[in-house]
Amino acid sequence: MQDAILRLVSETVDVVIKTHPFAEILYWGPHLRHFSPQDAATLSRPVANGRLDVDSPVTLMAELGHGLFGSPGIEGHRQGMDGSPVFTTTAVTQQGQSLTIAAEDTHAGLRLTSEIDLEESGVLRVRHGVTNLRPQAWQVDRLAITLPVAERAQEVMAFHGRWIREFQPHRLRLEHDSFVIENRRGKTSHEHFPALITGTPSFNEMQGDVWGVHLGWSGNHRLRAEVKTDGRRYLQAEALYLPGEIAIAEGKTLWTPNLYASYSAQGLNGMSQQFHRYLRENIIRFPDNKPRPVHLNTWEGIYFNHDPAYIMRMADEAAALGVERFIIDDGWFKGRNDDHAALGDWYLDEKKYPDGLTPVVRHVKALGMEFGIWVEPEMINPNSDLYRAHPDWVLALPGYEQATGRHQLVLNLNIPQAFDYLLERMSWLLGEHQVDYVKWDMNRELVQPGHNGKAAADAQTRQFYRLLDVLGERFPHIEFESCSSGGGRIDYEVLTRCHRFWASDNNDALERNTIQRGMSYFFPPEVMGAHIGHHKCHATFRQHSIAFRGLTALFGHMGLELDPLAVDEQEREGYRHYAALHKQWREVIHTGTQWRIDMPDATTLATGIVSQDQGQGLFIISQLRMPDYTLMMPLRMPGLEAGAQYRITLLDHPNIRLTGEGGHTMRKLPAWMDAPQTVSGEWLMQAGIALPVLDPETAILIGVERV
């Protein structure tokens, strides 16, 4: 029995797996310093009366044939036969902290390959592959990854959202049955980010046992947290297949997407920090490892109104403000004067650009900036030359009328000619012009996605990956942004092919505070696009000071989303100031350890980032609404070196005025704001500093530096 018990080890997390006669995770929790394989015998379960006379394991595949009676990991059939497989282990290979387990069901003619890796970060990566061993195809209805969690994980946290309000967390107590997230929009979606977090009751940022999972997949998905009637609990994640979509031919293998899982004994921050470290070590790759350039994107500045001379003047001003990458958004290709027409016609609009795009690109480059451009290759407008020539290239089922979304349909990338057309036009755009960056949009859900009369959402997603893969190989120096109306396609799998996400189409700083915080649970700041928008937000019409907008955009991949020529000098000076401030702290923000700080007042959000060497820390406190109390509670600063001394510096703040000087919030400032103070890291972590009373929709930025 002992040789059937294997352990994967990291500094913080261990996973113990029983491999024979079937594979079952026995333990997933804190690192064990004194483990021996025989210890696992203590978890041999009793058999309850009134049930089966044998134990029912929750295996890696969670087969119904073992008597699971919950949500199985595999469902399918071979023309009604072989519909309840049970896999027996045939081979086990361990290399370091990577484990491959092969299993078969000879009766059903199926082989299961499970890959399990425990990374140095503490993140567990799991995927399954099912191979058909028989001549007749095996129809797949479901293929999921199942991870057991401890019985003390009684609370579930997930994320809901919508366009311009993504990554909104919600919680529930889960004591019986299931909590399920299902997404059928054909992309990761604004509504249902593919992640679940479960933990001990009332877990928070700093405390509690937490298990978090994320499915790296940019299409339809289903995630489940389930409590069995015997009290055992598990998390389950899968690509969601439409009816008849997937069948495995003889000798072929269907792989699940990768499931990424993080356990933390230090609350949500510990979970997030492991995910961030994993991404930085294994997925995020920036060409030449260069700092993230400050952007200016033209969309909310000029929309479809493109005049090369004016755009070059915008570039002049952008460079003067400290912008490092200039992006021309929608409206550059022929016939694109609004969002009703021209998607698919990827040729330069010669009326707008009579001398071509090259003079603009050269002008941008001469100013010392990189050049970027917007595309939306997967979409097609019915009002386009491409649609008029190839109406059969639409992703659809025959006989049905497709509803448009934003006046557009979806191009079927499973048609070789359609794929080759896009590859040729994108290669022209990126090969004939000195493009450094591509903002890749995707604005419509997949409704009745079909190819040759069969459902094809999964196949469409894979073809999108293939298109990005080919372009990435041809143009390795070009960076790609996954935009998709903001938060519509954000996940770890697309991140293997891109370098940045547009977090939301909403640049409203108040809304951005919660959107960006929600995104931070799974993604570090350097891949999160965060822009300063116009003082009157285009999405909500809410108005904010440049200070609140600038500080809110600071903790991401910073940019501007506006026309810098159309605002007054005070606004421009604000853009210049916050671009410079971001650059000053960019290395800390994009490489440091992020901390979300629990505050006793729900109207206050506090976030910190501490450099890897603990020499510097940057903390932002955002007051979203009127506070519940007349005084702000002290800010404790986690992640510092206890024995070191730190100088506290006020880096940026709203225009605070005291009573008697025309103000309204305070008669007296905290002492550290009047005279510099130097205190120990231990004191800052355990006691903290007093905060000034902040008005709604303002923020304050505080720095600490080791002396």
- Positions annotated as catalytic residues are 441, 505
User: Vertex 270, ends 677 and 153: CA angle to 5°?
Assistant: 135
CA–CA distance, 528 with 290 (Å, rounded to integer): 16
CA–CA distance, 489 with 185 (Å, rounded to integer): 11
- Please compute, for residue 240, the number of CA atoms within 13 A of its CA located in the half-sphere on the CB side: 18
> By the 8 A CB rule, do 203 and 209 touch?
yes
CA–CA distance, 491 with 501 (Å, rounded to integer): 9
> By the 8 A CB rule, do 622 and 552 touch?
yes
CA distances from 689 to 1, 448, 610, 633, 683 (A): 56, 56, 16, 9, 9
- Please compute, for residue 28, the number of CA atoms within 13 A of its CA located in the half-sphere on the CB side: 32
Q: What is the DSSP string of 251-298?
A: T-EEEPPEEEEEEESSHHHHHHHHHHHHHHHHT---GGGPPPPPEEE-
**Backbone region of residue 556 per phi and psi (left: phi > 0; alpha: psi in -120 to 50; beta: other values):** beta
Fill in the amino acid letter for 284.
I
CA distances from 226 to 44, 233, 363, 378, 531 (A): 22, 6, 58, 36, 39
Taking residue 524's Cβ as centre, other Cβ atoms within 10 Å add up to: 25
CA–CA distance, 239 with 221 (Å, rounded to integer): 4
> By the 8 A CB rule, do 187 and 442 touch?
yes
> By the 8 A CB rule, do 484 and 434 touch?
no
Taking residue 88's Cβ as centre, other Cβ atoms within 10 Å add up to: 13
Q: Identify the CA nearest to 140 among candidates 260, 249, 24.
A: 249
Placement of tokens 């046992």 in the chain: 209
CA–CA distance, 459 with 482 (Å, rounded to integer): 19
Torsional sign, CA 246, 251, 256, 258: negative
> By the 8 A CB rule, do 203 and 210 touch?
yes
> By the 8 A CB rule, do 532 and 507 touch?
yes
> By the 8 A CB rule, do 642 and 611 touch?
no
> By the 8 A CB rule, do 330 and 379 touch?
no
Start-end of H helices in 433-554:
457-474, 492-495, 509-520, 546-554
Placement of tokens 């003079």 in the chain: 359
CA–CA distance, 144 with 213 (Å, rounded to integer): 13
Fill in the amino acid letter for 666.
M
Q: What is the DSSP string of 581-618?
A: HHHHHHHHHHHSEEEEE--SSTTEEEEEEE-TTSSEEE
CA distances from 558 to 294, 351, 392, 431, 552 (A): 5, 33, 41, 27, 10
Q: What is the DSSP string of 517-531?
A: HHHHTTS-GGGEEEE
CA–CA distance, 487 with 489 (Å, rounded to integer): 6
If DSSP codes are grouped into helix, strand and coil, which group holds residue 382? coil
**Which tokens go with 226?**
């389930």
